[in-house]
């Protein structure tokens, strides 16, 4: 097999493979002659492409004789392998592993999740992921035909082929994560930041399904996010796109985990909001209690969320003026606060966004919850490597 190349010929070849798979998806079984007519490819090129697709397990050829005869000649029919094209997403979150899987029609066919201690060693996290994937595989999934695995990790990642980088968030101690996973699952592995992957998942299956330009903000123990730009996950020049939690807020002076001061995270994370609530005289031992106070109409809790929401909306307006997304998705545990959070966010957003853009961006709650990172891993595989399995050689 050829190594992965990015020259025009390699890109053209992948385009040809995509086209053949698209045609089989749309038309159902086709003979080689029919594929040639539809695709405009030469017999030699098509033969090469089809051979590789069959070798990779993406396409199966039904033997001559079993296909319907036409004009007396037995015709070999090519079809998508019903157990191929499957992808798995794994999210190695701070305190849990989440996995999801899709079938060849890109439908989510199963998800599983298990919490763990944040200190759990990586070897054990991978074993846990393997076990969870095993529970899915007991169903319809044929792991042998896995197209690729999309993996979310905490912290910055430069690109899908790179391992996780050292960063302000909990770094993955093993730069070999992709290699380890490739060995365990015998499939190519793409890695990205799990919050960015959640953004891609929301733009693929979630609150912004079908959105081409989506801003996702996650309000959790940290504040992060991700951007989908023109339908693709945005990474920036050095893998640090979507760090909305580290945009400075007006008169912010709190010290942030990133080393700077005044970051949005210092006023809008779950911990920061709880601390502000307590400073204002509220009593809550955790987010659930604060959410309860909000539901009960506690004015101190409402005021606390209004302050946080105003900061969030102001930062979102700045980002909207810079990049003009069509949809903003708010996720993370704090988003469960609902209108007491969303209303001040929306007010500040509308107040600070350019008036001409005011009615062009939608603010929506995230739809995918904790599964977002794992689903985003799958979305990454579907977006960026529909045929990745043809390039990196598989072991065995």
The site for a copy of itself (CB under 8 A) is made up of 8-9, 11-13, 15-16, 18-19, 22, 36, 39-45, 48, 156, 167-168, 211-213, 227, 229-230, 232, 234-244, 246-248, 250-251, 258-260, 262, 314-315, 317-319, 321-327, 351-357, 360-361
Residues with Cβ within 8 Å of residue 190, at least 6 apart in sequence: 148, 149, 150, 151, 160, 161, 178, 377, 380, 381, 384, 385, 388
Comparing CA positions, the residue from 160, 148, 169, 226 lying closest to residue 191 is 160
To a copy of itself, the closest distance from the beta carbon of 64 in angstroms equals 23
For a copy of itself, the closer CB: 282 or 386: 386
Comparing CA positions, the residue from 184, 188, 212 lying closest to residue 200 is 212
For a copy of itself, the closer CB: 44 or 66: 44
Tokens of 219: 């309000």
To a copy of itself, the closest distance from the beta carbon of 224 in angstroms equals 11
To a copy of itself, the closest distance from the beta carbon of 357 in angstroms equals 5
To a copy of itself, the closest distance from the beta carbon of 214 in angstroms equals 8
For a copy of itself, the closer CB: 110 or 386: 386
For a copy of itself, the closer CB: 280 or 354: 354
Sign of the C-alpha dihedral computed for residues 276, 281, 286 and 288 taken in this order: negative
To a copy of itself, the closest distance from the beta carbon of 283 in angstroms equals 33
Tokens of 239: 């893998």
Tokens of 83: 């157990």
To a copy of itself, the closest distance from the beta carbon of 103 in angstroms equals 22
To a copy of itself, the closest distance from the beta carbon of 20 in angstroms equals 10
CB atoms within 10 A of CB 72: 5
Residue 286 exposed, middle or buried by CB count within 10 Å (0-12, 13-18, 19+): exposed
For a copy of itself, the closer CB: 96 or 307: 307
Comparing CA positions, the residue from 50, 39, 56 lying closest to residue 1 is 56
Tokens of 160: 């899908």
The CA distance from 358 to 350, in Å, is 6
Beta bridge partners, 60, equal 79
């Amino acid at each position: 097999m050829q190594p992965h190349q990015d020259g025009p010929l390699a890109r053209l070849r992948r385009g040809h493979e995509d086209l053949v798979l698209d045609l089989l998806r749309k038309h159902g079984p086709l003979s080689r002659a029919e594929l040639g007519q539809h695709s405009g490819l030469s017999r030699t090129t098509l033969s090469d492409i089809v051979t590789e697709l069959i070798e990779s397990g993406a396409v199966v050829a039904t033997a001559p004789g079993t296909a319907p005869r036409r004009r007396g000649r037995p015709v070999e029919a090519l079809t998508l392998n019903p157990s191929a094209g499957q992808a798995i997403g794994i999210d190695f979150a701070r305190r849990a592993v989440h996995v999801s899987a899709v079938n060849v029609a890109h439908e989510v066919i199963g998800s599983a999740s298990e919490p763990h201690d944040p200190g759990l060693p990586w070897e054990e996290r991978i074993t846990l992921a393997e076990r969870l994937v095993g529970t899915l595989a007991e169903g319809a999934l044929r792991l042998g035909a896995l197209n690729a695995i999309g993996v979310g990790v905490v912290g910055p990642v430069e690109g899908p082929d790179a391992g996780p980088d050292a960063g302000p968030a909990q770094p993955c101690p093993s730069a070999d994560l992709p290699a380890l996973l490739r060995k365990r699952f015998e499939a190519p592995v793409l890695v990205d930041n799990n919050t960015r992957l959640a953004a891609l998942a929301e733009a693929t299956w979630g609150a912004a399904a079908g959105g081409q330009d989506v801003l996702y903000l996650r309000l959790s123990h940290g504040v992060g996010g991700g951007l989908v730009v023109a339908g693709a996950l945005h990474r920036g020049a050095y893998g640090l796109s979507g760090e909305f939690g580290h945009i400075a807020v007006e008169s912010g002076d709190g010290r942030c985990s990133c080393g700077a001061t005044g970051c949005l995270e210092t006023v809008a994370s779950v911990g920061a909001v709880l601390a502000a609530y307590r400073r204002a005289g509220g009593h809550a031992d955790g987010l659930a209690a604060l959410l309860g106070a909000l539901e009960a109409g506690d004015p101190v809790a409402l005021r606390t969320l209004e302050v946080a929401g105003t900061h969030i909306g102001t930062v979102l307006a700045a980002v909207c003026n810079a990049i003009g997304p069509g949809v903003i998705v708010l996720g993370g545990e704090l988003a469960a606060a609902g209108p007491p959070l969303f209303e001040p966010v929306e007010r500040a957003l509308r107040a600070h966004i350019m008036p001409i853009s005011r009615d062009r961006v939608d603010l929506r709650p995230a739809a995918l919850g904790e599964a977002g990172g794992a689903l985003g891993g799958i979305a990454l595989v579907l977006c960026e490597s529909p045929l990745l399995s043809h390039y990196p050689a598989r072991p065995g």
